[in-house]
Amino acid sequence: MSLVCAISNEVPEHPCVSPVSNQVFERRLIEKFIAENGVDPMNGQPLSEEQLIDIKVSHPIRPKAPSSTSIPAILKSLQDEWDAVMLHSFTLRQQLQTTRQELSHALYQHDAACRVIARLTKEVTAAREGERGLTVLLRIMFSSFTCESRCSLCPFFRSTALATLKPQAGLVAPQSVPTSQPAAGGGGGEPMEVSEQVGMSQEIIQKLQDKATVLTTERKKRGKTVPEDLVRAEDLSKYRQVASHAGLHSASVPGILCMDLCPSDTNKVLTGGADKNVVVFDKSEEQIVATLKGHTKKVTSVIYHPSQSVVFSASPDCTIRVWSVTAGNCVQVVRAHEGSVTGLSLHATGDFLLSSSEDQYWAFSDIQTGRVLTKVTDEAAGVALTCAQFHPDGLIFGTGTADSQIKIWDLKERTNVANFPGHSGPVTSIAFSENGYYLATGAQDSSVKLWDLRKLKNFKTIALDNNYEVKSLVFDQSGTYLAVGGSDIRVYICKQWSEVLNFSDHSGLVTGVAFGENAQFLSSAGMDRSLKFYSL
C-alpha cells in the first residue's frame, strides 16, 4: 500500500500525519501551508508543525545533497516551484467553494428582499386607495348633515381614518407618546422629552447610504497602510501607568461603570458612574470640566460626540439623555425604551443614536429632534439585549443578547441578516474594527471571539483565565490593536492576536478602556472609582 499526499496527490518523500484530520501530507508542503495559514488544510482546525507525526518508511536510496550548480539543484528549484503551484491551486479550490456558498446566500437574501418590497408596495397602494375612498365618503356624509351633526361626527371620522390608515411595520413596535416641549427661555427650563416614532423617511435612508459610500471610499484609499504616527508594538509593550485620578465620582456609591474619549480631542474623557452622574474630565489640564446630573439610577453607557460639545448617556432608569457640555445641563431626554437601556452607539453621521434595552428592543433616534425614528425587536427570540454597536460604515450594526447570541441587523431594512452563536454566557461587549471586516465579542464565558464578517464565521477565540469577566472591548482607530477590559487590562495585536500588554493596576473590575490618537496612550476606568492613563 502506498501513501499519497492529500495536497499534491503524489507519493510523499517525507510523509507525516496530521492528528487533526488524520490525513497524510508531504512534510515540505504541509509546513509551508501551516506557516501561511496556521490551520489544517482539510478541515480548517488550528494546527502547528509540532503536532505533525512523521511516518517511517524504508527508502533504499537516499538522495544526495545537491550543490548550487548541479542538475539536482535545478531539479530542487523546479520542485519548489511545483510545490508553490500545488499550494496555490489548493487555496483557489477552497476559495471557490467559499465564494459559491456566499453567492448562494446573497441570492437568497435578494429574493427575500424582492418579496418584501412587493408586499410593501401592495400595502401602500391599498392604503392610498382607502384614503381616497374615505375622503369621498366623508364629503357625502357631511353634505347630508347639519352643522351641529357634523361637529359631533368629526372626532368619530377622524379616529376611524387614523385607525384605517395606520401603517403596519412588522417587527417595528407601534408607539406614540405625547411630546413635552421645553420651557420658554430654553437654557433654564426642563429638558425636552420625546419618544414619538416618526419613521425613517427616504431622505434619512439616503443620508445613511451617502455617508456609507464616503466612508467605504476613504477606507479603500487608505488600503492596508497604517498611520505613520501609530505606536509600534514594541513601544506599546513598554507602556506604564503615568496618571491616576480617583476623585471624579462620589465615594458614597463607588464605581465608574463606563467611559469614552472625545474622537476629535482625546484629552477629553467622559465617564458615567454608579452615583448617577456623568463627568467630563480634561486629561491635559487634570481637572473636571463638567459634572452632569439628572439620571435617577446609575449611568451604564456614555458617548462623546465627535464634532460637537455634546455627550450622551443611558441608564436603567429607561432614559437616554443628551447633555450640553458647555452649558452643563441636559437638553433632551429620549424615552425610547420601557426597560433598562443597556447600550448606546452613535452613527457615523453624528446625527443618529442607536440604543438597546432589556425590553428586547433596539431603537434608532434622531438626536437633532430627539425623536425615535424606529424601534424593532426579534419576536421569535424574545430575549433582552445587552449591548449594541454600529459598523464603521453605519448601514449595519450588531447587538448582543442575554442568551449568548450576536445578531447583525440591516438598518435600512430593519431586518436581522446574520446570527453568530458560539458564546456560552450573556454577551457583555462588542466592537467592530475600523477595517470593517472584523467583529470582536466578549461574554460571561471568559472568552473573546473574533468573527470575519465576510465569511460570517468565527476565526479566532481568545480563551481568558477562569472566571475572567469581560466588560469592555475596543479597537484603536487604525484597527491594529484590540484592548480588553475586565478582571485586568490586556492589549492584543491584530492578525497575530498575540498579547503585547497586560495591566493589573485597578483594584476592582475594569469597566472601560479606550485608545488615544494613534495609540499614543491608553485610558481605563474601573469599579475602584479611578481613571488611569498609560503611556511611555
**Eight-state DSSP code of residue 49:** G
Q: Is the pLDDT higher at 255 or at 151?
A: 255
**Helix/strand/coil percent split, the chain, to 5:** 25, 35, 40
Weakest mean pLDDT among 49-63, 237-251, 275-289, 373-387:
49-63
More confident residue, 274 or 150: 274
More confident residue, 227 or 275: 275
Distance between CA atoms of 155 and 495, rounded to whole angstroms? 65
Q: How confident is the model at residue 171 (pLDDT cuts 50, 70, 90)?
A: very low
Q: Which of 375, 429, 374 is nearest to 400 (CA)?
A: 429
Query: Could you give phi then psi for residue 345, rounded to 5 degrees?
Result: -155, 135
pLDDT at 194 exceeding the cut of 70: no
- Give the rounded percent of residues in the chain with a pLDDT score beyond 90: 42
For the chain, the average pLDDT equals: 83
- How far apart CA 450 and CA 420 sit, in angstroms, is 11
Task: Using the predicted structure, report yes or no on whether residue 457 has a pLDDT greater than 60.
Answer: yes
- Closest among 202, 204, 214 to 392, alpha carbons compared: 214
Its pTM surpasses 0.95: no
Residue 363: which residues within 8 A CB-CB, separation 6 or more?
A: 336, 337, 354, 355, 357, 372, 374, 375, 376
Q: What is the dihedral of CA 297, 303, 304, 305, to 10 degrees?
A: -120
Listed range (223-237, 396-410, 418-432) with the worst mean pLDDT: 223-237
Q: By the 8 A CB rule, do 409 and 419 touch?
A: no
| Contacts within 8 Å (CB) and 24+ apart, 184-193 | 187/327, 187/329, 191/294, 191/321, 191/322, 191/329, 191/330, 191/331, 191/332, 191/333, 192/331, 192/332, 192/333, 192/370, 193/332, 193/333, 193/334, 193/335, 193/370
**Radius of gyration for the chain, computed over Cα atoms and rounded to the nearest angstrom:** 29
Measured between alpha carbons, how far is 219 from 479 in angstroms, rounded to an integer? Answer: 12
* Cα–Cα distance measured from residue 529 to residue 531, given in angstroms and rounded to the nearest whole number: 7
The residue that leads in pLDDT, 389 or 247, is: 389
Residue 388's pLDDT band, with cuts at 50, 70 and 90, is very high
Contacts of 170 by beta carbon, 8 Å cutoff, 6+ apart: 414
Quote the cell numbers at residue 436: 470593517
Q: What is the pLDDT of residue 497?
A: 87
Q: What are phi and psi of 504, to 5 degrees?
A: -130, 40
In the prediction, which pLDDT does 536 show?
85
Q: Classify 50 as helix, strand or coil.
A: helix
Which of 8-22, 148-162, 484-498, 508-522 bottoms out in mean pLDDT, i.e. has the lowest?
148-162
Average pLDDT over residues 207-225: 82
More confident residue, 306 or 154: 306
**Range of weakest confidence among 174-183, 197-206, 503-512:** 174-183
**DSSP letter at 317?**
T
**The domain defined by 235-535 carries CATH number 2.130.10.10:** yes
Q: What is the DSSP string of 425-479?
A: S-EEEEEE-TTSSEEEEEETTTEEEEEETTTTEEEEEEE--TT----EEEE-TTS
Three-state secondary structure call for residue 499: strand
Strand duo 329-334 + 192-194: pairing: parallel
Indicate the range of 45-49, 196-200, 250-254, 501-505 predicted with least confidence: 196-200
Neighbouring residues of 260: CB distance < 8 A, sequence distance ≥ 6: 269, 270, 302, 303, 304, 512, 514
What is the pLDDT, as a whole number, of residue 135? 59
pLDDT at 494 over 60: yes
The answer to whether 77 and 85 have CB atoms below 8 angstroms apart is no
- Sign of the alpha-carbon torsion through 457, 460, 463, 469: negative
Q: In what order do the strands lie in the sheet with 352-357?
A: 341-346, 352-357, 361-366, 371-377
pLDDT at 197: 60
Rounded Cα distance, 41 and 47, in Å:
9
High-pLDDT (> 70) share of the chain, %: 85
**pLDDT tens-digit series, residues 341-373:** 999 999 999 999 999 999 999 999 988 888 899
Domain residues of the chain, as ranges? Answer: 235-535
Q: State the pLDDT at residue 261.
A: 92
Smallest Cα–Cα separation from 410: which of 166, 213, 209, 214?
A: 209
